[in-house]
Amino acid sequence: MKKKIFIGIGVVVILFVLWSVYGLFFAPKKSPPTTASFSDNGLDIKVSYSQPSKRGRLIFGEEKDGALQPYGKYWRLGANAATEITINKDITFAGQAVNAGSYRMYAVPGAVAFDVILNSELGVNFGAASEPDHTQDLLTVKIPAEPLMPEAETFTISFEPDSIGVNMNMVWDKTRLRVPIGLR
């Protein structure tokens, strides 16, 4: 009888381990990791983030309405790990000076504008759902929330060159954020 119990427990443990390994390494990710890159005139920018999808949810809005990213609350600009931006030259980021380097980038959504913040805390993985150490914030810029039609199902960061540098575009749901970046 004891032998059957131990065999049963062993089978359950093995199934749990196999299920965990599959989930961690083989199952398709709901919010896959990706990068957005820009390279021109010696300026290289790379943003590493994960891409959540809308999947019928209210994305930006009031907390009482069940918004995934409520107004006034920390958002890691993606999913899973913290979003990181790496810049190889000194730039202006929405008009503010930023030295070359790597930074954590996050936002605080609002109805008409988002605060986009660069922070020196790096290497934050799956614990990125918790707020960063705000004493390591380097700058905060207010970026207007532009209406987006048609809606974007998946959160995406991209770069679009313009006459003074490049715009980093962040789109999701019905919202586009456009962060102007230029060389200093």
Structure confidence by residue, pLDDT tens digits, 5-16: 878 887 777 777
Q: Work out how many domains the chain is built from and give that number.
A: 2
103 or 15, higher pLDDT:
103
Q: Are 96 and 5 in the same domain?
A: no
Q: Residue 86: give the domain boundaries.
A: 31-183
Q: Are 67 and 9 in the same domain?
A: no
Q: Does the pLDDT at position 62 exceed 90? A: yes
Q: Are 154 and 88 in the same domain?
A: yes
Q: Are 2 and 54 in the same domain?
A: no
Q: Are 172 and 122 in the same domain?
A: yes
Q: Are 41 and 23 in the same domain?
A: no
> pTM for this one?
0.83
Q: Are 107 and 36 in the same domain?
A: yes
Q: Are 8 and 47 in the same domain?
A: no
Q: Are 54 and 20 in the same domain?
A: no
Q: Are 21 and 98 in the same domain?
A: no
In order, the DSSP letters of the chain are -HHHHHHHHHHHHHHHHHHHHIIIIISPPSS-EEEEEEEETTEEEEEEEE--B-TT---EE-GGGT-SEETTS-B-SSSSSPEEEEESS-EEETTEEE-SEEEEEEEE--SSEEEEEEES-----GGGGSPP-GGGEEEEEEEE-EEEEEEEEEEEEEEEEETTEEEEEEEEEEEEEEEEEEE-
Q: What is the mean pLDDT of residues 139-161?
A: 97
State the pLDDT at residue 24.
58
Structure confidence by residue, pLDDT tens digits, 164-175: 899 999 999 999
Q: Are 8 and 71 in the same domain?
A: no
Q: Does the pLDDT at position 17 exceed 80? A: no
Q: Are 10 and 91 in the same domain?
A: no
